[in-house]
Structure 1
Amino acid sequence: MSYILGYDPETLREKVNPAQCQERLDEIGEQRSLPALLERVWLLKVLGRADDALVISEQSVRVARMAGTRKDLLRARILHASVQQVRGAYAAAEQELGTCAEEAEGHGWAGIAAFAYQHRGKVHFDEGSLESARHDFKRALFLRQDAGAPDDQLESTLLAIDTVERRRAAESVAS
């Protein structure tokens, strides 16, 4: 079940039903499996509880490092970086996402690389680096198309590219 109802066209943040997300968070409780930890991180992040999400994301990275696969570790690191982004630690998030994207591409894991580029594009977007955001979103789109990603992933990337293009156009008109 997807908890994402869409994306805010101004901020690129996920739109969710907070009650549904909180209900799911309550269901997961204190489970410590890696999938449960990752889901808790995401739910806490979209509910605006970034400090709690950071603690759990650090735990998920440790669990993935000890008991997961390399793919699991990359996913946990990408999610951790997305929490850093929400907390305003853009440089740390950007660096981590770049490292993850490069590693995933090096292994031929296009879907994970696209996930990292999509999130790094959001970091650039939040920073106001629209050209860098556009570049990362286009790279994510290419990788997602190459990997045969589902339509909802392609649509979120296309929305991000469109949002960047509209903001760039508005800024060039204003200047």
Structure 2
Amino acid sequence: MSYIHGYDPDTLREIVDLEECRERLEEIGAQRSLPALLERVWLLKVLDRLDEALVVSDQSVRVARMGGTRKDLLRARILHATVLQNRGAFAAALQELTACAEEAEGQRWSGIAAFAYQHRGKTSYDGEDYESARTDFKRALFLRQDAGATDEQLEATLLAIDAADRRRARTTVAS
């Protein structure tokens, strides 16, 4: 079940039903499996409980490093970086997302690489570097197409490209 009902066309943040997310977070409780930890991180992030999200994301990276696959570890690190992004730690998020994107591309894991580039683009977007954001969104689009992504994933990336173009145009006009 997807809790994402769309994306804000200006901020690019997920549109979610907050009550639905709170209920799911309560259902998960203190489960310690990697999938449960990753879901908790995401739910805490979209509920704007960023301090808790950071603690749980650190834990998820440790669990993935100790008992998961390399793909699991990349997913946990990317999610951790999105928490850093939401906390405004753009440089740290960009560094982590760059490392994850490069490793995923090196392994030819297009879906994971696209996930990393999409979030690196969002981080650049939040940091008002719209040119870099657009470049990353375009890369994510190519990789998602290569990986056979769903229409929803492709639409989210196209929305992000459009948003970066609009912001870039506004910035250029304002200069």
Smaller-chain TM-score bracket: over 0.9
TM-score (norm 2): 0.99
Query: Can you list the C-alpha shifts for 1:99-143, whole angstroms capped at 9, x where unaligned?
Result: 000000000000000000000000100111011000000000000
Instruction: Give the match's secondary structure for 2:31.
Output: coil
Correspondence 1:20 to 2:20: yes
Moved over 6 A (4+): none
Cα displacement (A) at 1:171? 2.0
Cα displacement (A) at 1:174? 2.4
Cα displacement (A) at 1:167? 1.1
TM-score (norm 1): 0.99
**Paired position in structure 1 for 2:11:** 11
Residue type at the aligned position of 2:47: L
RMSD: 0.6
**Paired position in structure 2 for 1:139:** 139
Gaps of 5+ in 2: none
Cα displacement (A) at 1:170? 1.8
Gaps of 5+ in 1: none
Query: Can you list the C-alpha shifts for 1:45-102, whole angstroms capped at 9, x where unaligned?
Result: 0000010000000000000000000000000000000000000110000000000000
Cα displacement (A) at 1:173? 2.3
Query: Can you list the C-alpha shifts for 1:19-45, whole angstroms capped at 9, x where unaligned?
Result: 000000000000000000000000000
What is the percent sequence identity of the aligned residues?
A: 75
Residue type at the aligned position of 2:70: R
Residues 25-174 of structure 1 aligned to structure 2 (within 5 Å): 25-174=25-174
Q: Distance in 2 between matches of 1:126 and 1:72?
A: 26
